[in-house]
Amino acid sequence: MKTKMVPMLLTLFTLLLVAAPVAWSAEPIHIAVSAPLTGNFAEYGQNWQKAISMAVEWINAAGGIKGRPLEIVYGDSKSDPKDSAALAQKFTSDNRIVAEIGDFSSTASMAAQPIYDRAGMVQLSPTTSHPKWAPGSPWSFGIVGTQAGEGPFMARYAIERLGKKRIAVLHINNDWGIASKEYFVNAATEMGAQVLGVESYFETEKDFTGVLTKLRGLKPELIYVPSFYNEMALISKQREKLGWTDVVVMGPGSLYSPKLLELGGNSVNGLYTSAVFFPNDPRPEVQKFVKGFEAKYKATPNMFAGVAYDAINLMAETIRKVGTDRKAIRDELVKTKNFPGVTGKIAFTERRDVVKDYRHLVVKDGQFTLFDK
């Protein structure tokens, strides 16, 4: 009891300072979070924790949910399927917990999926993007979007917004890169673009001069590069060195990282990409989140903080509407059509995942900026 009293008292104390005194007469509402708080993915889990704690603070400062404070029960899964499954057992058998948020990786989320499914508890993952995840159980929800949405979005960006019709693709040779390439190529071909060539590289590759020379020979107007910032920086620098400047470079949201700018320097100027979360987005909900996060943690929130913030707010909003019954929460969540998240509007498809609104970005003078032509 003592350990639970401390945060309660602290919350009360801050509330006394900040706003009109709120005395919690009612029991708190418990939501579980299964996240990698330690281990290899700890940085992502900690980003979640920061965003979620801040959101909960704000919700409770505004009077909680119908007079009841929101309380988070954290579980450290290390994003390991063994731990996420064990946590699922623990959470589902705890009658106070009404719903769960997590886990981080597709593997960890999918390992826990049957347990939440049997128990009948919502499992809403902020980051799981595997196309088979959300359709796997009526209790599973994904809010980060899948490659099936991003590929066609990028194809429209290239063909309709930038007017490029001759396209070549250079992708990383793994599950993600192949899926990424396929969704893009299919959409681009349907939109009437000409895909001149597709090349791949292995994760350990550092020498791109050969493959770039080959692609250059095909004379594309645009190269689409599903890759990560490390390789993209090398590809850009080596492309520049080969003197291949009459081409537009584009890649999916995986490139959206300050590291790309740091490693790529001038060579990544003019690179087109996308993001589900962009801190300089002028929308008021985004600015409220970014300002609050920066004031509290002295750091700009990233995409992972953004999706976690959306997950907890969406959950709180749903509970506000229908109360704390596990089944009622699921039935209401399914109907979500227009939730204004900081990572874009959330509207669930019949598969219970979302088609994201991506932001069109371009690197300009060494900064990511919104492309608004």
The residues of the shown chain that bind another protein, judged by CB under 8 A, are 173, 199-202, 204-207, 209-211, 213-214, 216-217, 230, 233-234, 237-238, 240-243, 262-263, 265, 267
Closer CB to another protein, residue 240 or residue 331?
Answer: 240
Expressed in percent and rounded to 5, the helix, strand and coil fractions of the chain are 45, 20, 35
Q: Cis check for the bond before 103: say yes or no (omega within 30 of 0).
A: yes
Q: How far is the CB of 266 from another protein (least distance, A)?
A: 8
Least Å distance, CB 171 to another protein, is 11
Nearest to residue 22, comparing CAs of 59, 63, 66, 70? 63
Q: How far is the CB of 355 from another protein (least distance, A)?
A: 33
Nearer to another protein among residue 167 and residue 235 (C-beta): 235
Ordered alpha helix ranges (H), the chain: 2-18, 42-61, 81-92, 106-119, 147-156, 175-190, 209-217, 229-241, 258-264, 284-297, 303-322, 326-333
**Comparison of 40 and 349: residue with beta carbon closer to another protein:** 40
Smaller CB distance to another protein: residue 246 or 350?
246
CB of 217 to another protein, least distance (A): 4
Report the alpha-carbon distance of residue 84 to residue 154 in Å, rounded.
33
CA distance 94 to 64: 21
- The residue (of 24 and 244) whose beta carbon lies closer to another protein is 244
| Both structure tokens of 255 | 């490139």
The residue among 286, 229, 284, 287 whose CA lies nearest residue 258 is 229
Q: Which is nearer to another protein, 214 or 327 (CB)?
A: 214
Q: How far apart are CA 303 and CA 150, in angstroms?
A: 15
Query: Would you say 166 and 224 are in contact if contact means Cβ atoms under 8 Å apart?
Result: no
- Least Cβ distance, residue 226 to another protein (angstroms): 15
Min. distance of Cβ 81 from another protein in angstroms?
24
